[in-house]
Amino acid sequence: MAATGMVDFNKLDRTIHEKGRLAIMTLLATRPRWAFPELKSELQMSDGNLVTHLRALHQVGYVAVTKEIVDRPQTSYSMTERGRTAFKAYIETLAEIVKLGRL
Amino acid sequence: MDSRSAEDHLRVIRELMERATIYRAISAPAALCCGFLALIVASAALIPGPLQPILRHYFVPVWIIVFLLSAVANTLFLMRSTGERKITFPSRRLRTALVAITPAFMVAGALTILLTRNRGSEIFVAVCWIGLYGMALLSTVTFAPRSIALLGWAFVLTSCLCLGLLTQDYLFSFTASRHVTLPGLGYLAMAGTFGLYHVIYGFAVMFYGRHGNG
């Protein structure tokens, strides 16, 4: 058990904790759907980097992928219920750490 | 992870969320185009010349044309901006902004039809447009940058101030003492707000945008 004080650091989701994936999860939390170019433009990431992170998040079930043809083929991403729960838990753990530091 | 880095993570999350939801519905170059166009049209109506009688006679149609040209300019600038970021036009955020501003524009249209039935109502039409345009901008305040909110408040407060001053006695004494007609007063109000305020907004957004404070 890697716990320090009252915070169990195992609760800190390693998949979300990575900087790029955290940014993706944050954006996906703001609205129901994000098209790939919108995510790319907002995060200033390369195609390859963004695809890798999105794939990692999709593999753990945090992100759902929708492919459709609207004038041209478009891939959009949304946060799953599982992802939302994990993201909420991640933020709560961060808040706990901050609170502990202020004691 | 210590509390400082946890705090940094939370700050990054908050900033990213705020940035993702902010949307500027009026681009700075479009505001400058609209502002200068309004100033040019108002100058042509206020300074004696060949266009003055026509412009003064067709106050509402003239400003509807100015509005349409400005809307086209804004659309083109927004299209260019979304094109640069490879985002489909109209973007989700633009659609949200349009839904938010539509009620105020509808009321402005209805009031224009009602007020233009009487001649000499140009200044009242102008004040209604100023106030409702300000309210349209303020209806996007939950996702608009601070500069749009300030612009909206400037329009609303100017409109309130004008409505407070526009008593018949005051209008009569104002127009009589300065040889200004009611359409002329309307052009003056439009130049001061749609002209000047947009020019100030456009330059301010361009300046602060370059200095990372958009």
Does A31 sit within 8 Å of B3, measured CB to CB? no
Per-residue model confidence as pLDDT tens digits over B1-54: 677 778 888 888 887 877 776 777 778 888 999 999 999 999 999 888 888 888
- The beta-carbon neighbor of B10 closest among A70, A95, A102 is A95
Angle at B199 between CA B196 and CA B204, to 5 degrees: 125
Of residues B167 and A1, which shows the higher confidence score? B167
Does A29 sit within 8 Å of B6, measured CB to CB? no
Q: What is the pLDDT of residue B211?
A: 46
Backbone φ and ψ of B63, nearest 5°: -75, -25
Residues of A in contact with B87 (CB under 8 A): 35, 37-38, 41
Interface of A with B (CB under 8 A): 9, 12, 22-23, 26-27, 29-31, 35, 37-38, 40-42, 70-71, 74, 91, 94-95, 97-98, 100-102
Backbone φ and ψ of A2, nearest 5°: -90, 65
Sign of the CA dihedral running B147, B153, B159, B165: negative
Calculate the average pLDDT of chain B: 84
Of residues B105 and B78, which shows the higher confidence score? B105
Q: Are B9 and A21 in contact (CB under 8 A)?
A: no
Beta bridge partners of A3: A8
Does B7 sit within 8 Å of A101, measured CB to CB? yes
Does A41 sit within 8 Å of B86, measured CB to CB? yes
Joined tokens for residue B130: 């100023």
pTM over 0.90: no
- With a cut of 60, say whether residue B212 has pLDDT above it: no
Per-residue model confidence as pLDDT tens digits over B160-189: 998 888 776 666 666 666 666 777 888 999
Q: What is the pLDDT of residue A9?
A: 65
Closest CA to A14 of A70, A82, A90: A90
Joined tokens for residue A59: 């593999």
The span from the CA of A53 to the CA of A44, in Å, is 13
Does A91 sit within 8 Å of B1, measured CB to CB? no
